[in-house]
Amino acid sequence: MNNNKDKNYTSGVKRYFLNFRYQINSLSRRKQSSILSASIVLAITFGLSAILGFLRSRFLYGRFFACCVSDLDAYTAAFRLPDLIFKLLVTGALSASFIPVFSNYIHKKDKETAYKISSTVINLLLILFIFASVFVLIFTRQLSELITNNFTGHQLDLMVNLTRILMIAQIFFLISNFLTGILQVHQTFIIPALSPIIYNVFIILSIFTLTPVFGIYGAAIGAVVGAFFHLAIQIPVARRRGFKYYFSINPRLSGVKEIIRLMIPRSLSLGLGEIENTVTLFFASSLVPGSISILNLALQLMYMPSRIFGTTVGQASLPMLSKNIAQNELETFRKTVNRIILQSVYIALPVTILILINRVSIVRIAFGAKNFPWEATLLTAKTLAFLTPAIISQAVIQILIRSFYALHNTKTPLKVSIISLIINVVLGYYFVNFTNMGIVGLAISASVGNMAQLFGLMYFFIKTVDGFSWNETLVRFNKIALSAAFMGATSWLGLIFLDRFIFDTSKTFYLIILFLINSFLGLASYIVSSHVLHIEEYRDYERFLAKFSRFIFTK
């Protein structure tokens, strides 16, 4: 009898894992045929990754903020040089040039050439990355001194060592991000979107398992391990999609030449963005200890919704917009960009308002209370308040930038980036050196720079595509703004009432309940007002959710 039970148990476990493997394989083969469906897939996974990112920060800050905030500042600063090299070499090639060119060959059914081009680009960038890494490894201390201000000797030593460890992770990210781009061109978004989740999981595990032994170094080791699995999870899916890797470099391929031509302005544009971030780091390092860490927390909260509702839509739209241009469908391209911007704004605007109203609760919930002082909470919330205009700006910027990339135009975003960089740096210098605003001043300068970039990109995009259906667009935008304003008033009044008369918000549990109830009231009012005002973007999401529910519940 016991043998039969053991056999049945073993058989049941085997069936479970076989079924799990089948579901994973099914997900990896499934395509997202529309920008909205792909965007929602990315938004869900980005949201999960963002939650894990907040947990990562909460655990990390809980462990180090009270006892050794200077180590935390050094850890945050150590990402600057690896991120700089990665964005210059990889992000510039991937988002601006590789995906549009690769997509063009795939849709022309020339897959062999497409994979030879992708292999050549990957190999070229690996060589360039190795040379850049060697340079950084040799001159890490000098470069670290250049981008920080008033770091102590201990902080500088720690930053140098952590930077050298984190450089290893970028090798895995380089290959992994190209696989992501290839899979997205094949309209496969689910498995690549899980990679950041895996990355965050390993860092969180390292905080509990490695930092007690290795201190802050443990978190850096966890980042390297997470980067490896960020790559590993995508390799089987890419192979099933037909990806072939060639150990060769053929720069004579016309597609490679086109990628390099488009990549240079984009890399320069990203370089300007990284210079902007580096200057901000330099300014923040001259302020009181902990300023870098607090600014990083506020930026993390700001970037979460902009990435969920802007970057995801931009990533999902680039392969499809590139297809429109490859097939010479300019009118469809123009209408698609118009529609996805409004769809993004429909979600990003109310989320921005909710974050502004509930900023203290969000900071307290996200980063904890026990090891994160009340003064730090208030400063983070205040900084976040002045960063909120950048949320809606970034949501639209990410779409407009990728629209230019689909048009094989990387020079216009570069010109606009130069202007926004100058505005941000000049304002940041003024606020830090001539006022007592500290990191709040840096938040203001960042928001103003983002808005300047938004208006500049919008102006040149309208000029490039010859119109934007302004009358209809303004009517639809005004409806969204009116509905969001009604939601904001409802949420603000609900917050005041619940805080004063119902909940003791000095306790975290009641703070979470207040935030959830207040957010529900706000979103419910937004949905009702959207229905009353007949907002088209509301109907778009309603139709998709109806289709999604039929897919889930109908077998």
Written as one string, the DSSP assignment of 268-301 is HHHHHHHHHHHHHHHHHHTSSTTHHHHHHHHHHH
**pLDDT band at 17, cuts 50/70/90?**
very low
The amino acid that residue 171 corresponds to is I
Q: Average pLDDT, stretch 238-246? A: 82
- Res 215 pLDDT > 50: yes
Reported as type and span, the H/E element at residue 131 is helix 111-138
- Res 159 pLDDT > 80: yes
**pLDDT band at 237, cuts 50/70/90?**
confident
Kindly report the number of other CB atoms within 10 A of residue 289's CB atom. 15
Kindly report the number of other CB atoms within 10 A of residue 401's CB atom. 26
Give the tens place of pLDDT for each residue, 255-297: 888 777 777 776 777 677 777 777 887 888 778 777 887 888 8
Tokens representing 410?
A: 């990387």
Which among 412, 420, 346, 416 is positioned nearest to 390, based on CA atoms? 420
Q: pTM for the whole thing?
A: 0.67
Report helix, strand or coil for 100.
helix
Cα–Cα distances in angstroms (integers) from residue 415 to residues 52, 146, 199, in the given order: 35, 26, 34
- Res 338 pLDDT > 70: yes
pLDDT of residue 41: 66
Report helix, strand or coil for 254.
helix
CB–CB of 350/268 below 8 Å? no
CB–CB of 350/481 below 8 Å? no
* Domain-wise residue ranges, the chain: 35-468, 469-549
Packed helices 254-285 and 35-78: angle between N→C axes, nearest 10 degrees: 50
Q: How far apart are CA 146 and CA 155, in angstroms?
A: 14
Select, from the ranges 92-96, 118-122, 415-419, 500-504, the one with the highest average predicted confidence (pLDDT).
415-419
Residue linked to tokens 């979107």: 193
Average pLDDT, the chain: 80
CB–CB of 209/267 below 8 Å? no
Q: How far apart are CA 236 and CA 179, in angstroms?
A: 10
Residues with Cβ < 8 Å from 81, sequence gap 6 or more?
136, 140, 143, 144, 147, 163, 167
pLDDT of residue 220: 92
pLDDT of residue 164: 92
- Res 22 pLDDT > 70: no
Buried b (16+ CB within 10 A) or exposed e, 290-299: bbbbbbbbbb
**pLDDT band at 19, cuts 50/70/90?**
low
pLDDT of residue 406: 79
pLDDT of residue 111: 79
Residue linked to tokens 């904890």: 368
